[in-house]
Chains A and B, each alone.
Chain A
């Protein structure tokens, strides 16, 4: 359960980290090589987030209906379907698999 105090502490901590990356570090002092690496960081982290949100739940590896939804999403995405369709299909397939299992 969230409380006002927890909300305040989380808000300060989360904004602080965003501001650290976005404003407190001077971009001109970042070298070309560092920029090359930083440009690939979002890809790396997004893949980690995707993998964990597909195959884990509360810190444990889980294989459930989401996998079917994400396989459908990946197939549609590979076929260059619109993003909207990809997202709706993932939810629909996941819901359908949960319904029949």
Chain B
């Protein structure tokens, strides 16, 4: 199986799958904003500058449901706090120079951080992070621009099952990590907490609280069964 970059565990097939997913998801997200009345150029600017589907979608969902602009922005910020937490998890393994990490921060998404973190060596984690960021951000920008331009051609992205692509992608990323009982416990707890809190707390908070099961990593680490 071919790896990119060479010597890492990132396979070409995985990179293509993520690129394709972000491309189609970007089209979907742009169509959602388009149907909400957002002008084409604002959608493209949002894609390039905010660089997060969940943040703009949370804003759109809150304001469409009658929430204020401030509530929409707060929801957008809250849903993206996870990028900060994910970035902090990978940061010690990336470059010692702060400005390089500052540049890298702009494309801190879920899949590139997860796949970089999968590498045993820090050097390979860096290379996978850079490669995967490009494989993710370029199709993401391209797809969003196409979606913004074609606007009303695809009237119903849900009819094509596009809303199932993101969670399916995450399952494919998570599955190889579920090798230990502790990892499975953390995974199950994270999902259960999010589902338990989603109807009680505003958007974004369930994601943050669902990070807490990671504390199980400390439990029993003395016994050496990591």
By a beta-carbon cutoff of 8 Å, the part of chain A in contact with chain B is 1-4, 6-11, 13-15, 17-25, 27-28, 30, 33, 35-56, 58-61, 65-66, 69-70, 73-74, 77-78, 82-84, 86-87, 89-96, 98-99
Contact = CB atoms under 8 A, between A and B. Distances in A.
A6 B72 contact: yes
Q: Report, nearest first, the 4 A-B pairs whose CB atoms are least far apart.
A: A90-B168, A94-B161, A48-B210, A21-B87
A84 B15 CA distance: 9
B126 interface: no
Contacts of A73: 164, 167-168, 171-172
Contact of B160 (A43, A55, A95): A95
B168 A45 contact: no
**In which size bucket is the chain B interface?**
35 or more
A8 to B, nearest CB: 8
Contacts of A82: 13-14, 17
B52 to A, nearest CB: 5
Contact of B172 (A8, A13, A86): A86
A43 B186 contact: yes
B43 to A, nearest CB: 7
Interface of B: 13-14, 16-18, 20-21, 24, 33, 36-38, 42-43, 45-46, 49-52, 55-56, 59-61, 63, 65, 69, 72-73, 76-77, 80-92, 94, 96, 98-99, 101-102, 104-106, 108, 110, 113-114, 117, 158-175, 177, 183, 186-195, 198-199, 202-203, 206-207, 210-218, 221
A87 B183 contact: no
Given A4-B42, A41-B214, A91-B168, 17 more contacts: A10-B77, A13-B73, A14-B76, A14-B83, A21-B88, A22-B101, A27-B96, A30-B88, A44-B212, A45-B211, A47-B194, A48-B193, A49-B207, A58-B61, A77-B175, A83-B172, A94-B163
29 contacts: A2-B36, A11-B51, A13-B76, A14-B50, A14-B80, A17-B77, A18-B84, A22-B105, A37-B214, A43-B214, A45-B86, A45-B207, A46-B110, A46-B173, A46-B190, A47-B187, A49-B82, A51-B192, A53-B163, A59-B61, A59-B199, A60-B198, A83-B172, A83-B173, A84-B20, A86-B17, A89-B168, A91-B168, A96-B161
Contacts of B163: 53, 66, 94
A45 B190 contact: yes
B93 to A, nearest CB: 8
A7 B188 CA distance: 35
Contacts of A33: 218
B161 A21 contact: no
A40 B214 contact: yes
Contacts of A23: 91, 98-99, 101-102, 104-105
Contacts of A43: 114, 174, 177, 183, 186-187, 190, 214
